[in-house]
């Protein structure tokens, strides 16, 4: 399925490969900076912008002819919706075989909320999607769209309307913020909720902040941009002329012109809703349109995090029987050692998720498959996961087989006590894997005896010699994790 988003600043085509309701992946992507909303403050798309739009449409149409897909969805948003000559873009799209449909402002807001509901870990939030021509401000309640409105506060439109100087003058910036604050107050939305930002303009700000603090995670989806970080960027960036803004590390050149407007808009937004910062979504209306077809109404994943884990397994499967036996053994060990480790439901879930995925790296080869598996876990944002949780999951997969569990470069993502959590969960997962070393299911279960040392009593029809030997090789790791020795014995059938 291809989704083409005809935005006011950028045209973007994404192609998804999917199995309905089971898994999906991003298969391809094209992006063209067209600045279609240029001149929109005057009510019309200027001729130069129309020419850029037509050129981009021809490129996308040619791509789709050469790379056929089952379904094409074309979303026309603010610039085309609001400009008196926006119909010219629609006519060109249809002439090229692209079935463009104008998306009303409230529907655009709903699609953004749907993407957030399936992509992040929040139940309730205020969701803001700033494009080039408009900004959608919505209320998400219980992961469902409750209300939303499109405001004429896209980054390109705000720039043209308010910011004429290079750099913009303080007076111009104050006028912009005053207009935004007045409109936001008129929405009747209360603060005190998490604030989520969508769209390339707000992601550009988050990327600048992440680059500035050497954040050790490349995915912006799920990034938290604190209010003080916005203030720091605001003070620094709004003093820079366009040429210097274009050279900021991590900033796409076409975002340099509108960056001051986006920063001023975001600052006013945070002040109005008294938010401590902004959660960044890497997903938006394109993903919302996809979910509207991928899932039956109400188009919500029951558990985005569970879906993400199973989806990754479906894409890189290994023996389900082996997977389930490792999960069962890991759960038995976790339960038996509960008085010792005192870990809770959060850690149990991480352990079982890691067991579910521990051998996905076998798709890239047996040797170093623990490293390959970690790479696959880290390679893209996982729906419903915070950065910390995804980091711990990948690290558990990395150390399920060998190595001294350590956060390494990902330590800044973790919380106090996570290094010990990683060590203990990795020890449990590795024991479970070794007790399934022959992949034959010989160890049907186990009991745990706690004393001066820990004894694992294995239930098997015959002595599982290899499994016992391989598990006992982990005694050093177990001692380090729990401070006790380890003994593995066959307890009979």
Return the number of other C-beta atoms located less than 10 Å from residue 365's C-beta.
Answer: 9
Q: 102: which strand partners?
A: 76
The sign of the torsion formed by the CA atoms of 422, 218, 211, 279 equals negative
How many degrees, rounded to 5, is the angle at CA 60 between CA 58 and CA 63?
A: 110
Tokens 């873009």 — which residue?
Answer: 89
**Which among 143, 149, 144 is positioned nearest to 129, based on CA atoms?**
149
For residue 191, what pLDDT is reported?
Answer: 84
Q: At what angle do helices 200-212 and 259-272 cross, to 10 degrees?
A: 90
Q: Which two tokens stand for residue 194?
A: 């998490």
Q: Which two tokens stand for residue 285?
A: 């209306």
**Rounded to whole angstroms, how far apart are CA atoms 362 and 231?**
46
Task: Write out residues in the chain with pLDDT < 50, as ranges.
Answer: none
**Which among 407, 311, 323 is positioned nearest to 331, based on CA atoms?**
323
CB 457 within 8 A of CB 491: yes
CB 378 within 8 A of CB 360: no
Tokens 């936001």 — which residue?
Answer: 184
Q: Which two tokens stand for residue 110?
A: 């709903």
Instruction: For the sheet with 445-450, list strands across it.
Output: 445-450, 453-459, 485-490
Q: Which two tokens stand for residue 123?
A: 């139940």
- The 3-state DSSP composition of the chain as helix, strand, coil percent (nearest 5) reads 50, 15, 35
CB 387 within 8 A of CB 221: no
The sign of the torsion formed by the CA atoms of 283, 185, 264, 173 equals positive
**Rounded to whole angstroms, how far apart are CA atoms 219 and 120?**
13
Tokens 């020419």 — which residue?
Answer: 51
Q: Which two tokens stand for residue 388?
A: 């910390």
**Rounded to whole angstroms, how far apart are CA atoms 312 and 361?**
11
Q: Which two tokens stand for residue 304?
A: 């985005």
**Which among 294, 279, 290, 297 is positioned nearest to 111, based on CA atoms?**
290
**Rounded to whole angstroms, how far apart are CA atoms 301 and 118?**
6
**Rounded to whole angstroms, how far apart are CA atoms 456 and 431?**
10
The tens digit of pLDDT for each residue in 32-83 reads: 999 888 887 788 999 999 999 999 999 999 999 998 899 999 999 988 998 9
Residues constituting the chain: 493
Tokens 């709004």 — which residue?
Answer: 238
Pairing of strands 72-76, 2-6: parallel
**Which among 199, 210, 158, 203 is positioned nearest to 179, based on CA atoms?**
158
Residue 155 phi/psi, 5° resolution?
Answer: -60, -40
Q: SS3 string of 81-98?
A: HHCCCCHHHHHHHHHCCC
**Rounded to whole angstroms, how far apart are CA atoms 55 and 46?**
15
**Rounded to whole angstroms, how far apart are CA atoms 91 and 96?**
9
The CA R_g of the chain, rounded to the nearest whole Å, is 26
Q: Which two tokens stand for residue 345?
A: 């439901």
**Which among 345, 357, 355 is positioned nearest to 435, based on CA atoms?**
355
Residues 6+ apart with CB under 8 A from 391: 217, 378, 407, 410, 413, 414
DSSP string, 218-267: ---TT-EEEHHHHHHHHHHHTTS-HHHHTTSTT--GGGTTTHHHHHHHHH
Collapsed DSSP state (helix, strand, coil) of residue 136: strand
């Amino acid at each position: 399925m291809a989704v083409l988003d005809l935005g006011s600043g950028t045209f973007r085509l994404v192609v998804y490969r999917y199995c309905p309701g089971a898994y999906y992946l991003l298969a391809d992507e094209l992006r063209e900076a067209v600045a279609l909303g240029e001149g929109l403050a005057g009510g019309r798309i200027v001729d130069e912008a129309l020419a850029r739009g037509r050129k981009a449409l021809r490129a996308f149409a040619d791509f789709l002819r050469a790379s056929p897909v089952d379904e094409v969805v074309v979303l026309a948003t603010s610039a085309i919706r609001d400009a008196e000559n926006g119909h010219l873009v629609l006519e060109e799209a249809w002439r090229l075989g692209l079935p463009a449909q104008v998306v009303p402002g409230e529907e655009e807001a709903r699609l953004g909320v749907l993407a957030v509901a399936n992509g992040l870990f929040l139940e309730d939030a205020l969701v803001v999607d700033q494009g080039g021509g408009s900004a959608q401000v919505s209320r998400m309640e219980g992961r469902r769209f409750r209300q939303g409105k499109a405001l004429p506060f896209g980054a390109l439109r705000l720039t043209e309307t308010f910011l004429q100087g290079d750099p913009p003058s303080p007076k111009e910036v104050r006028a912009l913020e005053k207009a935004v604050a007045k409109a936001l107050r008129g929405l009747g939305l209360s603060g005190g909720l998490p604030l989520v930002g969508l769209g390339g303009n707000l992601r550009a700000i988050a990327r600048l902040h992440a680059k500035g603090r050497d954040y050790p995670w490349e995915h912006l989806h799920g990034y938290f941009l604190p209010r003080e970080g916005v203030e720091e960027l605001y003070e620094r960036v709004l003093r820079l002329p366009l040429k210097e803004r274009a050279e900021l590390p991590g900033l796409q050149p076409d975002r340099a012109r509108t960056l001051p407007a986006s920063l001023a808009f975001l600052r006013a937004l945070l002040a109005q809703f008294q938010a401590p910062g902004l959660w960044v979504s890497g997903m938006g209306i394109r993903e919302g349109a996809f979910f509207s077809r991928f899932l039956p109404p109400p188009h919500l994943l029951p558990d985005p995090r569970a879906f993400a884990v199973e989806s990754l397994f479906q894409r890189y499967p290994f023996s389900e029987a082996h997977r389930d036996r490792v999960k069962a053994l890991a759960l038995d060990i976790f339960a038996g050692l509960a008085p010792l480790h005192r870990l809770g439901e959060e850690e149990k879930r991480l352990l079982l998720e890691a067991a579910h995925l521990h051998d996905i790296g076998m798709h890239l080869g047996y040797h170093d498959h623990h490293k390959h598996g970690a790479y696959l876990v880290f390679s893209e944002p996982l729906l419903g996961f915070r950065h910390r949780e995804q980091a711990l999951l990948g690290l558990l997969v990395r150390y399920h087989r060998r190595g001294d569990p350590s956060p390494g470069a990902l330590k800044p993502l973790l919380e106090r006590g996570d290094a010990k959590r990683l060590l203990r969960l990795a020890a449990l997962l590795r024991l479970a894997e070794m007790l399934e070393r022959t992949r034959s299911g010989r160890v049907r279960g186990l009991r745990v005896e706690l004393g001066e040392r820990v004894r694992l009593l294995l239930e098997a029809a015959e002595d599982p010699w290899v499994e016992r030997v391989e598990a006992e090789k982990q005694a050093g790791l177990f001692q380090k994790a729990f401070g006790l020795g380890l003994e593995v014995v066959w307890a009979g059938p």
